[in-house]
Structure 1
Amino acid sequence: MVRRNLYLVAGAAAFATGTIGIFLPLLPTVPFYILAAFCFGRSNPAWEARLLDHPHFGHHIRSWRERGAISLRAKYLALTMLGASAVGGLLLLQWPWSMLPAAVALSTGTWIWTRPSE
């Protein structure tokens, strides 16, 4: 019972964060909804079903679950933002901190690019 409640709270927090991401451009929505669906699948299957059946986000959640796939549009957007962050870090931070955003962008960008595409 405690575990189920923890998953329910985590799912609600992930869903709330994803919903805030709809309005804040740098906060992603779909990854938080994927996490929410995972948590709801272990705590509230009805809420999981609502996320999976959502007309806009459900297809992204199902694609990730079934094939680990990310849409090409999302990949390009993520890589563009990672690149901009890396350039910003190189221009605005002192050495050696200026290399941190570039290293994160390179490793994260490589992982994103190697995922299957929708």
Structure 2
Amino acid sequence: MNAVGGLALILGVLGIFLPLLPTTPFLLLASACFIRSNERFHYWIHHHPHLGPIIDNWNQHKAVSSTMKKRGYVLLAASFLFSLVMLPHWWMKLGLVMGYSVLFFFFHRLPIHDPHGDVAENGENH
């Protein structure tokens, strides 16, 4: 379970930067693996300042933060445009557009929930 949890954690962190790799499902898998095999890693991932809130937000509200969603939109668009330029054939580009459309549809449907404790009254993050 440690190996699967470690791999899921690595893929989850990479998913923050790579738009086609989902972050939240891999972090949830890592958490589930670590709860059974390594209490120290389980505690660490849930109390990590960047990863913990993602897991908690999904576990409590089945949602992502607006910041994560905005970042996802930007990275999706950037990777799509890069891939569109790099593909040599029109039929590959058509397949990419169809795949992007499906991915965008499901990503857009993810609910947003911004935890109230992370935002000050004036709107600045702590």
1:78-117 alignment, distance < 5 Å = 78-93=72-87, 94-117=89-112
* Residue 63 (structure 2) pairs with residue 69 (structure 1): yes
Structure 1: runs of 5 or more not aligned: 1-6
Q: What do residues 37-95 of structure 1 show as CA deviations (whole Å, max 9, x unaligned)?
A: 12212333442222112223211111112222111111122122222333333333212
Root-mean-square deviation over aligned CA pairs: 2.7
TM-score, with length taken from structure 1? 0.72
Unaligned 5+ residue runs, structure 2? 114-126
In structure 2, what is the equivalent of residue 34 of structure 1?
A: 28
Identity %: 25
SS in 2 for 1:55: coil
Amino acid at match of 2:90: W
> Deviation per CA, 1:14-51, whole angstroms, max 9, x where unpaired?
223445x39x9437694343331122123334422221
Structure 1 runs of 4+ aligned residues shifted over 6 Å read none
* Distance in 1, Cα, partners of 2:10 & 2:61: 25
Match of 2:49 in 1: 55
The residue identity in structure 2 corresponding to 1:100 is G
Cα deviation for residue 106 of structure 1 reads: 1.6
Q: Distance in 1 between matches of 2:93 and 2:101?
A: 13
Distance 2:50 2:3 in 1: 23
TM value normalised by structure 2: 0.68
